[in-house]
Every structure is written in structure tokens, then in C-alpha cells.
Amino acid sequence: MLTSHAQSISLPLDEARLLSIPLKGIERAAVFVLLTAGVLLSAHFLTSGFERVLGTFEDDSFYYLTIARRIAAGQGSTFDGIHLTNGYHPLWCAFLVAPMSVFRDRPEAAVRAIAVVSVWLRVASSLLLLRLAARAFSDRIAAALAAITFFVVGNAFSTNGMEEPLQMFALMVLLTVAAREGLVSLREHVWRGLLVAIVILSRLDMIFVAAAYFTHVFLGRASRDRRAALYALMAGAIPCALVIAAYLAWNATQFDTIMPISGMLKNSPLPHLNLPPTYWSEASTGRRLLMLHALAVGTFLLFAGGVEASRKLTGWNDAGAVAAFRVWALGIMGFVAYELLFGKWGNWFSWYYQPLAFVGAIGIAQWLQSGACLLRMSASGRRMTAPALAIAAASLTVIMGASLVQRHYVAGNDFQVASYRAGLWVAANTPEDTILAMKDSGAFGFFSDRRVISLDGVTNNLAYQRALVERGISGYLEDEGVSLLAQHSLRRSSASVRAGDYETLAIEYRSNLYERSGGSLELPRASEVFRLPWVSADYGANVFVIWRVRDR
């Protein structure tokens, strides 16, 4: 155990108890806030208009839903119903198979159900963090605020249909287990190793968290007994490696590559600096500050708390919980460093970095905790501590709650709504065996319930990347029997083109694997069969267009 905060500032324990707020009351209040938020958000997703619910989902989430629906229907791991694909993180897709077997013919109900499940996965993760933070922080208000911040900051991205809620739940279970102090049997290390494998399968770049965890296991024992440390490491690492090896072998035998196609397209085999100028320039000031804050806190967690002076400032009470925080900080910072060095395309979507919300939440609570520590160093400050903490926590909770309400009730992703409407038109006006093709085709493919080939390649296969280089996009579409081509956005075209004032429009397609052009399609205005104007909150007026490129 670390030295208690009261002891570190020479405050008598009896006086500390008199100055403290009842612990059970604070934790019960935090649990009440989290459960109430879960109920309210669930009611929103179950009762609000569907297009408003749809506005919180990302297009990539419908790749998961469509693949899971096809797996449930016995068609295998395919998005378009034609080509097998492994372009997804496996745990979330496997998790979705059961609900998609229930809601196979009710796509709107499936979206609502997944949103509600995501909410409660986030609630469960936040409750686990509350339990862990209550061990780490001497002030339970700081612990409660960490859990609430974690829920609110990340919830907008936990209800977007992506893998993040399951990923964070698996991570919080791992951190809770890792925080336990005392000797751990080899059998328990085996079970922990399997849990680490689950974390990796929830999002494959969590391999860095796995590396941080096994480093923690080895170093935790190495100073006392190096041989025992090695046995503990092997007991956990071997079963973890076997599970991941089985997944890689499945990839190799089914898809001719051990890596998922999405990872191959988005990451380079050789390091290069990949700063995200577009993401950074388009990010709000608040998001920039949150990212920088999270990285700063991650660095602080790695190095602080090792000496008595820093404990007086931090108020940390539990070595096991602090060690778990460090495992997470080291893992997430390794992940960010990897993306900076090896990421080449599509790596800066905001939900990729939601694990930083955990570090940011701990950081906000830590600053609150440190302020309380400074106040307690004087008699007058000790009397002010509890009210100051309560006011600060309540204020931050209200501010973050207002932000959450704005996200779910005001903001919307019009792109998904346009894809939804276009998909319904295709479902009502084309034969069931129609083959279409489109970039960013997740929602469109899901709601059209047709065979829609992914032209950005994320849920396609290696053969498509080779075809772009060898035959070009025109040859590929002809060989695949594509009759309709869809494009969700013409925002880079002129206003007149978006209005339909053109004779022929050229759209280029690239192989992101080989980083070469796959040629362009020349699309006549007369071949348009569907046009839907829509407005983007970020880019203004836009249009969704479908062209006929081949007669059936």
C-alpha cells in the first residue's frame, strides 16, 4: 500500500475522517448518475425518430452490422455477399452475430438495439472504473468524477455502432484484474492471458496494451524472484499467443494474408512520420486540448508517484490501482506512437482515439485531487476541501452532461441519413440480385440489402487491390457485373456539378495498398438514376448520386 494521503501531510486520521464526505454516499451518487444516464440514453434510442438515432452512427459501423447479418444468414464473412473479407476487428463482429440473427429483417430495430447495448457496455465500463478509481484516489469525489467523465466524454463514440464500447469494457475488466495485489497463481495468470487475448481481438492495435500488461507482470516479480517472474510471464503470454495465432492462421487460410485487409490498407510496413494535419486543423479547440491533456496525463502516470513528495501532491492510496493506470497509459501511448510512425490512410477518425478518454478522465480527476491535496495543507483549506470538491465535480458534471445532450439531440450525421434514404430507394426499386458498388458503402449496403461492393477496399479483398492496378476500375466493375454505381458525396466538385449541371463527371479510384491510381470512371449525366441533395454540418450542400454503368 502507498502511504495514505492523510499520513503524507501529517493529518491525524480521526480529523481526516471528520473532514471527509461519507464514502458510500459519494459512490452511491455516482452509481445513480451513471445508471440514470444509461436509462435516459436508452429511452432516447428506443423512442426518438429513427433518423435522429441514425445520426449518431458511423458509416463503418454498418460494415460490422452487414457482415454480422450475412454470417447469421450462413453466407460467411462477407460484406457484399460475393467476396470474403476480414476487414474488421473480430470480437465486435462476432458479438453482433447473435443480435443480427434476431433482427435480420428489421434493420431499424437492429440499429436501436445495438445503440442500447453500447450504452450499457459503457455504463458497465464506467462502474468498473469507479471501483478502480475509488482505490487509487484518496478523495471519493475525484474517483466519482473520473467515472462520470469517462462515461460522458466517451459516450458519443460508444453509441456510434463501432467496436469501442466492447473494447473499453474488456480493457476495464483487464485493468481491474491487473490491479489486484498479492501473489497470483499460475492458473490465474493463464486466465489473465486469455483475457488479454480478448482485449487484443476487441481492437487489434491493443497489442500495445498487452505488451504493457506482460511487462507489468514480469517486472512486478522480477525484483523478488526472477524465475517466478518468468513463469508468471509465460503462463499468461503463451495462452494469449495461442489465441492470436489461431486468429492469424484463420486469416492466412481464408484470405491469403495474416493481417486484416483494412489494416494493410491503413498502415505502412515501414515507419514514416504520419502527422494528421487535416484532423488537427478540423478539430475543435476543445478536442485539441483534450488530446494534448490526455497525452500529458499519460506521461505523468508513467513517471509520477514513485517518490514520497509526489504522493503528497497526488493523494494516491493504492499501488495496484496506480499500476493498472500505468499499464493503460503505456499501452495507449504506444498505440499513438505506432499510428504516428506507420499509419498512412484513414487512421485519424476520432473514435480510434477514444481510449484516450480513459487517460483524460483520470487526469481531470487527478487535477481535482491535487487541488484538494494543496487545500488540505492548511487548517482553513481543510475546511474548504469538501465543499470545493463537490462544487467542482457538480459543475464539471453539468457541463459534460450538456455536451452529451447536444451530441445526441442536436448534432447528426447527415451522411448516414442520406445513405439510409438512398438504400431504401434501391431496396424498393431494384431486383434482389442487383450488384452495386460504392466508396463508404456501409450504411447504403446495410439498408439497401443488396450486393454492394466496397470500392474503398476496407471490406473487400486483396484481389480488388490487384485488379485496380492490373485492369483499372472500369475493368473490375465489368468483370464483377456491377450495374449501378453510387457516390455519397460530391463536395469536392463545383456547385454546378452538385446541382446536376454537367455532361460527364470523372471520379478517380485508388489502390490504397499499392498507393497507385486505379483509373477514373467517366459518368454521363444522362446515366443518373437517383439523386438526393443533402446538407453536411461540416461541408455544406452535398448530393448523393447513383448512376447506371451497365445494363443488366
In a domain, 106, yes or no: no
Same domain, 200 and 227: yes
At residue 307, the pLDDT reads 36
Mean pLDDT of 125-147: 79
Residue at which a domain ends, from 368, 392, 409: 409
Cell of 330: 503505456
Same domain, 401 and 539: no
In a domain, 475, yes or no: yes
- How many whole angstroms separate alpha carbon 394 and alpha carbon 415? 36
In a domain, 250, yes or no: yes
Provide the sign of the torsion angle of the four alpha carbons 263, 264, 266, 271, taken in this order: positive
Q: Which residue has the higher pLDDT, 340 or 516?
A: 516
Same domain, 192 and 278: yes
At residue 446, the pLDDT reads 97
Q: Which residue has the higher pLDDT, 255 or 537?
A: 255
Cell of 489: 458525396
Q: Which residue has the higher pLDDT, 404 or 11?
A: 404
- How many whole angstroms separate alpha carbon 110 and alpha carbon 58? 15
At residue 283, the pLDDT reads 55
Give 348-404 pLDDT, tens digit per residue: 666 666 666 777 777 777 666 666 665 555 555 556 656 666 666 666 666 656 655
End-to-end CA distance of the chain: 73
Q: Where are the beta strands (DSSP E) in 463-503?
A: 484-487
Mean pLDDT of 47-58: 88
Same domain, 394 and 452: no
Rounded to an integer, what is the distance from CA 351 to the centroid of its chain?
4
- Residue 1's pLDDT band (boundaries 50, 70, 90)? very low
Same domain, 398 and 497: no
- Residue 298's pLDDT band (boundaries 50, 70, 90)? low
For β-strands 451-454 and 484-487, DSSP reports them as unpaired
Same domain, 260 and 183: yes
For residue 530, give the DSSP letter: E
Q: Which residue has the higher pLDDT, 408 or 95?
A: 95
- Residue 470's pLDDT band (boundaries 50, 70, 90)? very high
Mean of per-residue pLDDT scores for the chain: 81
Residue at which a domain ends, from 409, 436, 451: 409
Instruction: Compute and round to an integer the Cα radius of gyration of the chain.
Output: 26
Same domain, 203 and 165: yes
* Lowest mean pLDDT segment, chosen from 36-45, 225-234, 332-341, 450-459: 332-341
- For the chain, give the percent of residues with pLDDT over 70: 72
Same domain, 279 and 400: yes
In a domain, 111, yes or no: no
Provide the sign of the torsion angle of the four alpha carbons 431, 437, 439, 440, taken in this order: positive
At residue 376, the pLDDT reads 55
Q: Is 529 helix (H, G, I), strand (E, B) or coil?
A: strand
> What domain count does the chain have?
2
At residue 16, the pLDDT reads 46
Q: Which residue has the cell 447473435?
A: 98
At residue 5, the pLDDT reads 43
Provide the sign of the torsion angle of the four alpha carbons 88, 94, 95, 97, taken in this order: positive
Assess whether pLDDT exceeds 60 at residue 532.
yes
Same domain, 399 and 512: no
The neighbour count for residue 209, using CB atoms within 10 Å, is 27
* Lowest mean pLDDT segment, chosen from 28-42, 149-163, 226-240, 386-400: 386-400
Same domain, 372 and 421: no
pTM recorded for the entire structure: 0.88
Assess whether pLDDT exceeds 80 at residue 290.
no
* Lowest mean pLDDT segment, chosen from 71-85, 310-324, 441-455: 310-324
Is residue 298 a contact partner of residue 332, using CB atoms and an 8 Å limit? Answer: yes
Assess whether pLDDT exceeds 60 at residue 287.
no
List 437's β-bridge partners, or say none.
Answer: 453, 485
Same domain, 358 and 435: no
Assess whether pLDDT exceeds 70 at residue 445.
yes
Assess whether pLDDT exceeds 50 at residue 310.
no
Assess whether pLDDT exceeds 80 at residue 20.
no
In a domain, 260, yes or no: yes
In a domain, 101, yes or no: no
At residue 374, the pLDDT reads 57
Assess whether pLDDT exceeds 80 at residue 546.
yes
At residue 74, the pLDDT reads 95
Segment holding 519, helix H or strand E: strand 516-524
- How many whole angstroms separate alpha carbon 311 and alpha carbon 4? 9
Q: Where are the beta strands (DSSP E) in 102-157?
A: none
In a domain, 536, yes or no: yes
Q: Which domain holds residue 493?
A: 414-548
At residue 323, the pLDDT reads 77
Residue at which a domain ends, from 409, 431, 448: 409
Give 189-232 pLDDT, tens digit per residue: 999 999 999 999 999 989 999 998 998 888 877 667 888 889 98
Assess whether pLDDT exceeds 90 at residue 474.
yes
In a domain, 105, yes or no: no
Q: Which residue has the cell 490491479?
A: 179
Same domain, 172 and 200: yes
- Residue 137's pLDDT band (boundaries 50, 70, 90)? confident
